[in-house]
Structure 1
Amino acid sequence: MDELLLHEDPRSGNCYKIRLTAHLLGLPLQRLQYDILQGETRTTEFLSKVNPSGCIPVLQVGDHFLPESNAACWFLGENTALIPDDSFDRANMLRWMFFEQSAHEPNIATLRFWLHFVGENNLSTQQKSQIMTKRIAGDEALKAMDRHLTGREWFVGDAISLADIALYAYTHVAEAGGFRLQDYDQVCAWLRRIEDLPNYVPMD
């Protein structure tokens, strides 16, 4: 495999899930860090050479650039135990990865960013008006996860998959967005299982 370079802000769960995937697989991963709060992904150089949308993470594979965190995780995980062999299990894994990006991350990750890094006093009136809606939606996502994990250890099949990695990234830091993880027993047990895995690496 070509040299892997992760363009990241280490505070980002989307960046972290790529790093966690690489560590669990024992893949060497170089890191190049940017501060999104300082606009470092909006420079002419970044937009022209790394990602014209100005977003991170971007996984650089040799001379190729792959944005979108779950796409990067799939690239790293292909032909490994992190992607199930069974076709239905693979589809079910993708279902939870789509859930993470549509129902989970826009609420849990956004509140973490707004409240922990930006600060509520610095939010716009429109952002402040969305806090309660996002909190309710984030709790609904956590409830769905908790229900699904009842009677099972992992989201798909009998072993960890990319679905678990995708959902772990922002779930384990959800309290920084004001969510009460202690209300979700199954989720908390699942978090501990991931943290006990060989080659687990914490978020910076």
Structure 2
Amino acid sequence: MRIYGDSISGNCLKVKWTADHLRLSYDWIETDVLKAETRTPAFLALNPAGQVPTVILDDGRPLAQSNAIILHLAEGSELTPRDAYERARMLEWLFWEQYSHEPYVAVARFQVRYLGKSPAELEPRLVERGRAALQRLEDALTQSRFLVGDRPSLADISLVAYTRWAGEGGFELSDYRNVRAWIGRVEQAFQIAD
């Protein structure tokens, strides 16, 4: 398997962390988004959307979109709950991450860290929604140690990717005690290090 990914991207790293946790064999192909390496004709032939992560499976079939990839890689593993309701809850978090978390927390990080904006220059609505996403996690984590059930799942991998870097987007993680503790638990469970 080949994983095309950019190491500055939480979406790409969640694929790497899932593959590493499951001890899957793969070649990581660093693909620099800032240098437009996803816009070359060769890359667009693999993924016409021009996005990373993109995986080429052992049989040659391509697969894109980080949460679709991790769901495929973790099919039948301990990272996907066996109970139908808990599995649906995991999916709920995966969909929420891409719609209500990543567009705010990750975008703020990108604008501050890679485009050189100060947090004060960010669009107020972006900051407001990012804080709301972090508060949603904070509230959910008052009930349990992980997002679904009593063990880590793909929901945790998916959401920790950009949450752990939220400070780089101007979000003060010290305001979210439960989130900080959860980040530590998830990093330990998946052996994630900077």
- The one-letter code sitting in structure 2 at the alignment partner of 1:152 is S
* Greater than 2 Å deviation, 4+ residue runs: none
Query: Where do residues 15-164 of structure 1 align in structure 2 (5 Å cutoff)?
Result: 15-48=12-45, 50-62=46-58, 63-120=60-117, 131-164=123-156
The higher-RCO structure (CA 8 Å, 6+ apart) is 1
Alpha-carbon displacement from aligned partner over 1:62-117 (angstroms, at most 9, x marks no partner)? 21110000000001111100000000000000000111000000000011111101
Which residue in 1 is equivalent to 2:192?
A: 201
User: Match of 1:96, SS?
Assistant: helix
- The one-letter code sitting in structure 1 at the alignment partner of 2:86 is D
Which residue in 2 is equivalent to 1:125?
A: none
| Equivalent residue in structure 2 for 1:166, among 158, 165, 181 | 158
TM-score, normalization by structure 1 = 0.90
State the Cα distance separating 1:23 from its structure 2 match.
1.4
Uncovered stretches (5+) of structure 2, i.e. residues with no partner: none
State the Cα distance separating 1:163 from its structure 2 match.
0.4
CA contact (8 A) 1:23 1:201 kept: no
State the Cα distance separating 1:120 from its structure 2 match.
1.8
Alpha-carbon displacement from aligned partner over 1:122-146 (angstroms, at most 9, x marks no partner)? xxxxxx6x62111110100010111
User: Match of 1:41, SS?
Assistant: helix
Alignment partners' CA distance in 2, 1:147 and 1:44: 45
CA contact (8 A) 1:23 1:200 kept: no
- The one-letter code sitting in structure 2 at the alignment partner of 1:188 is R
Uncovered stretches (5+) of structure 1, i.e. residues with no partner: 122-127
Alignment partners' CA distance in 2, 1:23 and 1:47: 26
- The one-letter code sitting in structure 2 at the alignment partner of 1:53 is A
Alignment partners' CA distance in 1, 2:78 and 2:114: 35
- The one-letter code sitting in structure 2 at the alignment partner of 1:89 is E
- The one-letter code sitting in structure 2 at the alignment partner of 1:58 is T
Matched residue pairs, number?
Answer: 191
State the Cα distance separating 1:24 from its structure 2 match.
1.5
Alpha-carbon displacement from aligned partner over 1:143-185 (angstroms, at most 9, x marks no partner)? 0111011031010011100000000000001111000111001
- The one-letter code sitting in structure 1 at the alignment partner of 2:49 is S
CA contact (8 A) 1:59 1:72 kept: yes
TM-score, normalization by structure 2 = 0.94
